Copies of this chain bind each other. A is one copy, B any other.
Amino acid sequence: MGDSFGHTFRITTWGESHGGGVGVVIDGCPAGLHIDLEDIQGELDRRKPGQSKITTQRKESDTAKILSGIFEGKTTGTAISIMVDNQDARPQAYKHLKEIYRPSHADFTYDQKYGFRNWQGGGRASARETIGRVAAGAIARKLLHQLGSIETLAWVEQIHDIRTLMDPTSVTLEQVEASMVRCPDQEITEQMIACINKARMSGDSVGGLIRAQVRNAPPGLGEPVFDKLTADLAKAMMSLPATRGVEFGLGFDSVLMRGSEHNDRFHTEDGRIQTDTNRSGGIQGGISNGEVIELRVAFKPTATINFAQETVTREGVSTELRAKGRHDPCVLPRAVPMVEAMINLVLLDHWLRNRNKKLADLEG
């Protein structure tokens, strides 16, 4: 239990790193949306392994197959099923891990929870699981674009101790995609690549920060008191592998401010009530206020490292582990489309939920 996400636009994902494939079922997509395979494949390509020298070298084309819910090029309003085959699965490469707990992986906790585990490449705990999310997110993205030019953009702001100071409002998708690490800052990109490579060469790994914005989000998204937009976005972010924290607007930095410094005052411009500043990151009382939504997510360094690590076997006996599987020395470049996908899923779900809030809208 826990494989579904969303209330009105709801996805259910399935699949493991080395099983028969991975996929997603989408329930609640409005009928009549034009969807090409390319809409989905484009996002999967941003997520797939082997994109560059700084990502894992596992070879997967991650080719999407649409099994249901699209007819004559349009969504039918009924369940959309999308799957991707596992091609370069090498279960035998994990055989030595069968009886060993890798530090800071989910091996031990899965065993504790379920009594045994699929030890092939992390099983369900593999980041390969996020393929279904990204495929569904691609549909959400297209719909949000069509409904109101709502655009989610995420990028790598920091790798280890290297951080871009670029003005977030100026960042474009083109800049992000032009960078091997998905950092819009060209100069910093080079430093980040060097940092990742250095970690990789020494068998180590690094973490970082992803920053995300939603532009053109209408006011009104978020359902108090529990399904606040901040709450559902935070859940979405923390459901991704390797995330350790999330913050909105000024986030943890707001702790050092006084109310008089932090409050976003209102003014009217172009006939629209706006805030002078956007310290709250576009969400007040858990509801979007029409400003840019701003959040930041912390990712830990990859747990898989090519170091000898002391650990224990399933029976609790001390042993030494040296990882052999292919892995990313830094998950952030490939996590960018995952972050965007989850944000788009949350936003679309709330966009749909928000349509039933005012009697005047219903009587239209």
Q: What CA separation (Å) do A275 and B268 show in the bound complex?
A: 54
Q: How far is the CB of A345 from chain B (nearest CB, A)?
A: 10
Q: What CA separation (Å) do A160 and B15 show in the bound complex?
A: 45
Asked whether A78 lies within 8 Å of B356 as measured between CB atoms, the reply is no
Task: Mark each residue of chain A from 16 to 31: 1 if its CB lies under 8 Å from any CB of chain B, else 0.
Answer: 1001111101011011
Within 8 Å of chain B (Cβ to Cβ): is A146? yes
Contact of A33 among B233, B359, B364 (CB under 8 A): B359
* Residues 20-59 (chain A) with a chain B CB within 8 angstroms: 20-23, 25, 27-28, 30-33
Asked whether A255 lies within 8 Å of B19 as measured between CB atoms, the reply is no
Binds B, one of A172-180, A186-194, A219-227: A219-227
Asked whether A318 lies within 8 Å of B268 as measured between CB atoms, the reply is yes
Interface size on A, residues (CB 8 A): 162
Task: Mark each residue of chain A from 70 to 84: 1 if its CB lies under 8 Å from any CB of chain B, else 0.
Answer: 011011111111010
Known contacts A1-B227, A285-B105; decide if A68 and B298 are in contact (CB<8 Å): no
Asked whether A305 lies within 8 Å of B260 as measured between CB atoms, the reply is yes
Q: How far is the CB of A191 from chain B (nearest CB, A)?
A: 15
Task: Mark each residue of chain A from 86 to 109: 1 if its CB lies under 8 Å from any CB of chain B, else 0.
Answer: 000000000000000101111011
Q: What CA separation (Å) do A30 and B357 show in the bound complex?
A: 4
Query: Which of A146, A262, A279: most chain B Cβ within 10 A?
Result: A262
Within 8 Å of chain B (Cβ to Cβ): is A263? yes
Residues from chain B with Cβ under 8 Å of A10 in the complex: 1, 4
Contact of A362 among B78, B79, B80, B147 (CB under 8 A): B147
Contact of A228 among B238, B248, B303, B317 (CB under 8 A): B238
Within 8 Å of chain B (Cβ to Cβ): is A304? yes
Task: Mark each residue of chain A from 206 to 246: 1 if its CB lies under 8 Å from any CB of chain B, else 0.
Answer: 11110000000001101111111011111111110101111
Q: What CA separation (Å) do A265 and B264 show in the bound complex?
A: 45
Contact of A12 among B25, B204, B231, B288 (CB under 8 A): B25
Q: What CA separation (Å) do A304 and B285 show in the bound complex?
A: 13
Residues from chain B with Cβ under 8 Å of A317 in the complex: 268
New contact pairs (20) apart from A109-B284, A259-B303, CB-CB < 8 Å: A2-B227, A2-B228, A14-B80, A23-B67, A30-B357, A31-B359, A76-B123, A101-B266, A103-B264, A106-B285, A109-B219, A109-B283, A109-B285, A124-B225, A160-B258, A205-B259, A207-B255, A234-B238, A245-B245, A352-B356
